[in-house]
Amino acid sequence: MKKNLYILLLIFTVNLVHGQSAPEEFLMPEERIYLHQNTTLLMSGEYLYYKLYCLNSETGALSDMSKVAYVELVGKDGQVVFSHKVRLEKGSGAGDFFVPTSVPSGNYKLVAFTRWMQNGEVEDFFQNDVVVINPFQNNQSGLMRSASDSTRSNGANANTAVNLPSDPAAIEFQLNPQTTGNREQIALTINSVPSDWHGDYSLSVRKTIAKLPVPQRETSNAFAESLKGNTESIKVSSQNTMTLPELRGELLTGTVFRIDTDEKVPNRRVALSIPATNYLFKISSTRENGTFFFNVDESYTNEQALIQVIGEDRDAFRIEMDEFESPDYSNLTFSDFVLDDTMEAFILEQSVQNQIQNAYAENRIDSIRKIEDFPPFFHTPSHEYYLDDYTRFPTIKETIIEVIEQASTRQRKGKQFIHVRVYDDDVETGLNSLLLIDGLFIQDHNTVVEAKASKIKKISVINQQYLYGSEVFEGIISMESYEGDFIESLPALKEKDTKLFRPELAKDYFDQDYRYPERYKRIPDYRTQLVWEPQFKLDGSTETMTFYTSDVKGSYEVVLEGFNEQGKPLSLRKFIEVK
């Protein structure tokens, strides 16, 4: 039944895009997001880590509808400190934010939602309070008691849930040892994991904040309780204006206008290029109201894209990309954490430790996870030329003439262009060959034929007519540079590129290893976050991981949070002591 509903929504979306009649109205389940954060109190120079889980409010299971979610940190003044776009895989995703010294002290709200959730109320978004203390700014008014404050907050508010106990019979973990010293190894073991608890969870080990009335962190158990009995659905109808879900990936939208009349232009094809060695190239068409969209389900690293109208008259048009707009946060309520003299020692100690830790940050670097290569849209080319296997020629034009048997250069209206030989040279179809360099769609071949070929690594050729996105090309010639940055050699196109609101890149977080203590003997270790693992998998009978303590003594909270694929919450915590 759920699959059929998703198919209906997909049909509805396609019909809406192409101006066709939509099916009868139908109901779709809402989504809800739970976000596990590593802390609710941050100081300048620290990281906020988060893992989010998108759930189907009707079934309680992880949602397979939205492929993108949004996370924002909002201040009392309504200003958004950061806005992240997060890819969802099987209903979950993760990210982090480094708190710079430009963020003032204050009470903030961490908010998470999907586009589909924007059809509801902000009250249904995930919300949790966050306190930021910035000792490097003189203005601390954001955390000072106002005249209207009668008592100091105990850290709880309407949007904060208390911790609910987990079922100890279901699953439990052991820590060995639970009391230890500095730079010592601790083993975390989960024995006999039942199959119905297999899943992808998030694990945090962080120093506790004693005697401070910080906002509480919501647990997955508490969140699951709040969903019980909530099976509301959204009515999908062609009569309603609504925000469509990102069903097949990231949705990039925009509008094409005529420059001379400012009219919106229907039925024009638009090309998207995200240049790289592993590039993205897509073609879309504008609707009757001049709007277009691209579904991007591939991961990419380049934030710069070139979006252009296809055709010789392309300079007669302009493109306006839709920018992401944050929801209206005017009705958010915030915690009332305030500073007092008893916190001075804690703030001073933590600030000094953060500065020392960041001074040695190059020794503990997180790594961006490599994006898996995917084939180009044309998959296997007819011919491939690795230019280092041939005599090198100075320009692209000379390389085409001397090396590429299936292509040639020609003249048209006083300009040079590259032509792929699909038929005999005497046959003229009037079609253009598709020229791509690192995925960059080059319409004016004259701008590149005299460019230096020394940066080009490989040339692929499809010497047959190719239909792509309702556009027919007289073959394809795709060039790949060594670094995927050939656009830097084309200033005329470089100045026309657009910065995308790119999804956060997946990371592998630094894992401190003291098996060889001499290596770090002279490097101080003031980590208060010992572990952040957003993909802690439970998929076997026994799971074991090890981690090391730092030079900071005190009590540390070990928290395991999340949901299995069926939506069962798991919220476990224990403590270790470092003496």
Buried b (16+ CB within 10 A) or exposed e, 137-172: eeeeebbeeeeeeeeebebebebbbeeeebeeeebe
- Enumerate the β-bridge partners of residue 33: 54
The stretch 297-306 carries a mean pLDDT of 93
Q: What is the per-residue pLDDT for 1?
A: 44
Which residue, chain included where needed, has tokens 């253009």?
A: 432
182/578 Cα distance (integer angstroms): 6
The stretch 333-337 carries a mean pLDDT of 92
CA neighbours closer than 13 Å in the CB half-sphere of residue 241: 0
Q: What is the per-residue pLDDT for 17?
A: 46
Q: What is the per-residue pLDDT for 153?
A: 40
Q: What is the per-residue pLDDT for 60?
A: 85
Q: Is the pLDDT of residue 336 over 70?
A: yes
Q: What is the per-residue pLDDT for 341?
A: 85
Asked, as a colleague might, if the bond just before 177 is cis with ω within 30 of 0, I would say: yes
Q: pLDDT-derived band of residue 3, with 50, 70 and 90 as boundaries?
A: low
> Of 119, 127, 1, 121, whose CA–CA distance to 66 is shortest?
119
Rg over CA atoms, the chain: 28
Domains of the chain, with CATH numbers?
A: 2-232+327-371+508-578 (no CATH), 383-491 (2.170.130.10)
Q: Is the pLDDT of residue 165 over 80?
A: no
> Of 289, 244, 252, whose CA–CA distance to 10 is shortest?
244
10/429 Cα distance (integer angstroms): 37
> Of 377, 175, 172, whose CA–CA distance to 281 is shortest?
377
416/419 Cα distance (integer angstroms): 10
pLDDT in tens, 404-434: 999 999 988 888 999 999 876 666 677 899 9
Beta strands (DSSP E) in 400-528 are: 407-412, 415-420, 434-437, 440-441, 456-462, 466-468, 471-473, 476-481, 498-499, 507-508
Q: What is the per-residue pLDDT for 6?
A: 52
Q: pLDDT-derived band of residue 157, with 50, 70 and 90 as boundaries?
A: very low
Q: pLDDT-derived band of residue 240, with 50, 70 and 90 as boundaries?
A: low
Q: What is the per-residue pLDDT for 29?
A: 83
460/385 Cα distance (integer angstroms): 6
Which residue, chain included where needed, has tokens 């954490």?
A: 337
Q: Is the pLDDT of residue 160 over 80?
A: no
Q: Which amino acid is at 551?
A: D
Average pLDDT, the chain: 87
Q: Is the pLDDT of residue 314 over 80?
A: yes
Q: Is the pLDDT of residue 392 over 50?
A: yes
Q: Is the pLDDT of residue 359 over 80?
A: yes
Q: pLDDT-derived band of residue 565, with 50, 70 and 90 as boundaries?
A: confident
Contact 104, 132 (CB under 8 A): yes
Q: What is the per-residue pLDDT for 438?
A: 94
Backbone torsions φ then ψ of 110, nearest 5 degrees: -95, 125
pLDDT in tens, 80-131: 999 999 999 999 999 999 999 999 999 999 999 999 999 888 999 999 999 9
Let me know the angle formed at the C-alpha of 161 by 81 and 212, rounded to the nearest 5 degrees.
70
Q: Is the pLDDT of residue 159 over 50?
A: no
Contact 476, 420 (CB under 8 A): yes
Q: Is the pLDDT of residue 169 over 90?
A: no
Backbone torsions φ then ψ of 487, nearest 5 degrees: -60, -25
pLDDT in tens, 254-280: 999 999 999 999 999 999 999 998 899
Tell me how far the alpha carbon of residue 109 is from its chain's centroid. 20
Q: 399 or 152: which carries more pLDDT confidence?
A: 399
Q: Is the pLDDT of residue 330 over 90?
A: yes
Q: What is the pTM of this model?
A: 0.90
Q: Looking at the chain, how many residues does it have? A: 579
247/7 Cα distance (integer angstroms): 10
Q: What is the per-residue pLDDT for 495?
A: 78
DSSP class per residue in 167-208: -TTT--EEEE-SEE-TT-EEEEEEES--GGG-EEEEEEEEE-
